Amino acid sequence: MSTATGTPLAYLERFAEAGGPVERILLLALPLVIGRSETAGHTIYSSKVSREHASIVLVNNAFAVRDLGSTNGTYVNGQRITEHRLQDGDIIHIAHVEFAFHRPEAIVRDPVATTDVDVELTQLLRADRPESVIRGTRLLQELIADRACEILYQPIVRLGDRSVVAYEALCRGRHPELSRDPVTLLRLAEQCGVVIELCQMLAQMAVTGSHKLPRGAKLFVNLHAQEIVSPGLADSLAVLRALSSDDHPVVLEIPETSVTDLATMLETRRIFGSLGFEFAYDDFGAGQGHLMELTELPPDYLKIDKSMIDGIESAKSRQDMVGALIQVMKGLGVRVIAEGIETEPVAAICLALGCDFGQGYLFGRPA
């Protein structure tokens, strides 16, 4: 698909950081520079973003994202890149800002459009109208009914001897009209009001599929923030408990950003304990870092976010901060997992700082 000038049509969706509508950025004038500068094609107001951080370019009629020598790096689907050819559904991270890349493969002609480019722009600019939400809901309900997802398992290892002690369950979509990327699916499910239903289905698939894992390995299963405050939490977890096996004890991962209300978390922890579930705070350091809640309601596990671990071998101040956090957690009896470990030097630093466990591509990809 291309515009009248021959440029293929695509767009970025920038997800709001605190709710609100998704911002859509049409990729018509390339290269599109993204950075802190007021003269950038798209400006991000953050000290973590370089003045000219990254750009979207066209290479051999294909879209690519190119890092412009930024200080903190550009990431696609969690991997730091120099240049990456983009596929529909790819997730680009620049500092704390997340973009989804989309290149639609089919359009429906609008009766008021007069040219091909008018047709395509009309479709994109009207993609957030109610009919689109209705269609998205229908497709997600099809995905849930057909269980059109696959569950992948990524190992979590003991850093001292690299033995596998657990696996985190991750998903990929398999609906022909929806993205495979789990972040994109969850964003759509949030907009369509079916995120709890989707996450409950994925958790059940993860537990029932865990029989293929080595006996005794724990299974880490993610809960969505909306599930935690849902009045049906206890009932849905009771179903999950009935499906689970003592061969693979379940650890429930809750987003660190959802840990804001001590009273709610006390009740949530009571529900977890009554059903025999351990729990983990996930992605610690990616949000506000709720240290007070951590000390008053310590979890069984704390997962330190990749953003705090990546590049730690050359960041002494970050080593000091992470090391101090680990010691506080150990004093509370919390086991610490470092996420996003991709190299031996990073693994060695995490072990030296007292981290118990590690997760990342160094030890195994989701499979």
**pLDDT of amino acid 77:** 83
pLDDT in tens, 65-117: 999 999 989 998 878 899 999 988 888 989 878 888 988 653 333 344 444 44
Q: What is the pLDDT of residue 17?
A: 52
CATH number, domain 142-359, options 3.20.20.450, 3.40.50.300, 3.90.1310.10, 3.30.565.10: 3.20.20.450
Cβ–Cβ contacts within 10 Å for residue 64, how many?
17
pLDDT digits (tens, 9 = 90+) for 172-202: 999 888 888 888 888 888 878 889 999 999 9
**pLDDT, the chain, mean:** 84
- Nearest C-alpha neighbor of 288 from the set 267, 268, 265, 305: 305
Cβ contacts of 121-128, under 8 Å, gap ≥ 24? 121/9, 121/26, 124/9, 124/11, 124/24, 124/26, 125/24, 127/24, 128/21, 128/22, 128/24
Same CATH fold, 142-359 and 11-128? no
CB 288 within 8 A of CB 257: yes
Euclidean distance between CA atoms 282 and 225, whole angstroms: 11
Residue 119 has pLDDT above 70, yes or no: no
- The DSSP output letter for 248 is S
pLDDT of residue 115: 47
**What does the block give as tokens for 193?**
């009001």
Whole-angstrom distance, CA of residue 115 vs CA of residue 4: 8
- pLDDT value at 22 more than 50: yes
164, 161, 277: which is closest to 222 by C-alpha? Answer: 277
Domain 11-128 fold? Tumour Suppressor Smad4 (2.60.200)
223, 174, 175, 176: which is closest to 195 by C-alpha?
A: 223
User: What is the pLDDT confidence band of residue 16, given thresholds at 50, 70 and 90?
Assistant: low
List residues bridging with 13 in a β-sheet.
24, 100
Query: Tokens representing 134?
Result: 């209705």
End-to-end CA distance of the chain: 33
The larger pLDDT score, comparing residue 102 to residue 6, is at 102
User: Do 103 and 125 meet the contact criterion of CB atoms below 8 Å apart?
Assistant: no
Residue 301 or 112, more confident: 301
Domain boundaries, the chain: 11-128, 142-359
Q: What is the pTM of this model?
A: 0.66
pLDDT tens digits along 29-60: 889 999 998 889 999 888 889 999 999 999 98
Q: DSSP string spanning 134-159?
A: HHHHHHHHHHHHHT-EEEEEEEEEET
